[in-house]
Structure 1
Amino acid sequence: MDPKYPRSADLILLPGARTGRDPARSIKPGPRRQPAGVVAATQRERLLDGLVRTVAERGYQRATVSDICRAAGVTRPVFYELFSGKEDAFLAAHRHGTGVVIRRMAAAFAAESDWCAGIREALGAMLQLLAGTPSFATMAVIEIEAVGPAGRRERDQLLTRFRAFFAEVPQLPGGVGVQEMVDAVVGGVYSAVYRRIASGRTDQLTELLPVLSMFCLAPFLGPAEADRRLGSRTGEDPSCTRIDPATTGQ
């Protein structure tokens, strides 16, 4: 595993990374029971893990609240204390998990000195996280469509957050709209990730890094320059240097 994208205990795990019935999160009854807030938070985490694994295995439409509760080791009354229903729980798991992914991508992006390397490292962080938690990848990327309009809105919001990584791309020649190009690139990345997961090759997602990196950079730099930047990470290049908002008055 690349040490640049650690999965150590001090990092927040994606929903589905643990079983809902993980013994380490068992709730002890009796007078030494944990505070109510801690108990509720633990039950919520277990339900999100149970939901992700159940939806990945059975599909959103076939998964029931009873299935989710059974996978989490949590009762139905407790489920309905925390969520209004299956859709509410699904969206909570999706928001939490994609928030983890975006934050890890942002950290990898910020660690680089130019946007070319930053985009590549952000992609690498995303691919490794999804490859390492296949149940979440299936739930979040494949099953989100089955949720209906609310799921599609969540996906659109996620793609909007992904577009932020392209805020520093150079202008395109010939009057080609940058935002339209970014939309096309972001949609293409999502489609490639979707196809890999849908075909049962989630564990091979990291193999997409070279092609997705080229796909993200080539429209803005040209294929030859993108290849040069991806092949050599040393030195600075004006076409890829970060823009400091403090120097532009933004």
Structure 2
Amino acid sequence: MRLPGGRDGRDPERAIKRGPSRVPRELVLATQRDRLYDGLVRTVAEHGYANATVTDICRAAGVTRPAFYEHFDGKEGAFLAAYTHGTDLLLDVLDQAYAAHAGGWRSAVWENLEILLEVLAGAPAFAAMAIVEIEAAGPAARRRRVELLHRFRRFFAEAPEPPGPVDRAELIDTVIGGVYSAIYQRISAGRAVALPELKPVLAYFVTAPFGLADAQPPRLGSGPRPKVVLPCLPLFLAADQHSETDVNSDG
């Protein structure tokens, strides 16, 4: 799976083709926006949100400043757009895996945690931008993060009732927050690639409050789960990508 930041925005293969055959404007805009997502994520991950500038983002994306302002009203708007795009991709994959799972809630939790940690470990720039640097991106970004965390509540709809007199909704939010905190600590320490190591402890942490504490993965099927793959480009862009040749004058 590729999230924003997974490709070099200045890769010549991603540039808009020049020549007598005119490229549709919607393709130009979509390509620019996709490259700006990658440029922003990489710039923010490397320099931090506070130190990243629009000029830096445009340079990393291979897109002009006028083109940047066709898409976004500033750095904060671009950050929010990239964050929303990337987290929507991630949640879509988790939703699909959860809906397709037939092994019970505990098994579904294990698989979704495995996918979440695997995807973030494979996209360390996006992980740093979306999990750590969002703290510096302002109140709107932090509200967007709260909205994201609330979206994870859907994965607890089939969880057993917790033993003991506790408020179920508050317990679920506490568990989600704890998982997020553990992931944050690993990424902020520069160890995003080691996130999959957290799977046993996080699976235990998530299931224990619901009476299913177990640090051993469920034994289902005869082989490993295949890797999750999701194109980072819209399908119509992926189909046309082979015809792109130029890079730096997309304004």
TM-score tier (shorter)? 0.7 to 0.9
CA gap of 1:174–1:232, structure 2 versus 1, over 3 A, is: same
Q: Report the CA distance between 1:222 and its aligned residue.
A: 4.6
The answer to whether structure 1 residue 30 and structure 2 residue 24 are counterparts is: no
Query: What CA deviation, in whole Å up to 9, does each residue of 1:194-239 have, x standing for no partner?
Result: 000001110000111111111100110153xx357x45448xxxxx
Aligned counterpart in structure 1 of residue 91 of structure 2, from 87, 102, 112: 102
Structure 2: 5+ residue runs without aligned partners?
Answer: 222-251
Is the 8 Å Cα contact of residues 104 and 126 (structure 1) preserved in structure 2?
Answer: no
The answer to whether structure 1 residue 86 and structure 2 residue 86 are counterparts is: no
The answer to whether structure 1 residue 194 and structure 2 residue 174 are counterparts is: no
Please report the TM-score for the alignment, with normalisation by the length of structure 1: 0.84
Corresponding position of 1:19: 8
Q: Report the CA distance between 1:110 and its aligned residue.
A: 2.1
Partner Cα separation in structure 2 for residue 231 and residue 41 of structure 1? 42
Q: Report the CA distance between 1:29 and its aligned residue.
A: 2.2
Which fold has the larger relative contact order, with Cα–Cα distance below 8 Å and residues 6 or more apart in sequence?
A: 2
RMSD after superposition = 1.4
| Count of residues paired in the alignment | 220
Please report the TM-score for the alignment, with normalisation by the length of structure 2: 0.84
Superposed, which structure 2 residues align to 1:18-167 within 5 Å?
18-113=7-102, 114-167=104-157
SS at match of 2:164: helix
Identity within the alignment, %: 56
Is the 8 Å Cα contact of residues 130 and 136 (structure 1) preserved in structure 2?
Answer: yes
CA gap of 1:227–1:201, structure 2 versus 1, over 3 A, is: closer
Partner Cα separation in structure 1 for residue 99 and residue 34 of structure 2? 29
SS at match of 1:175: coil
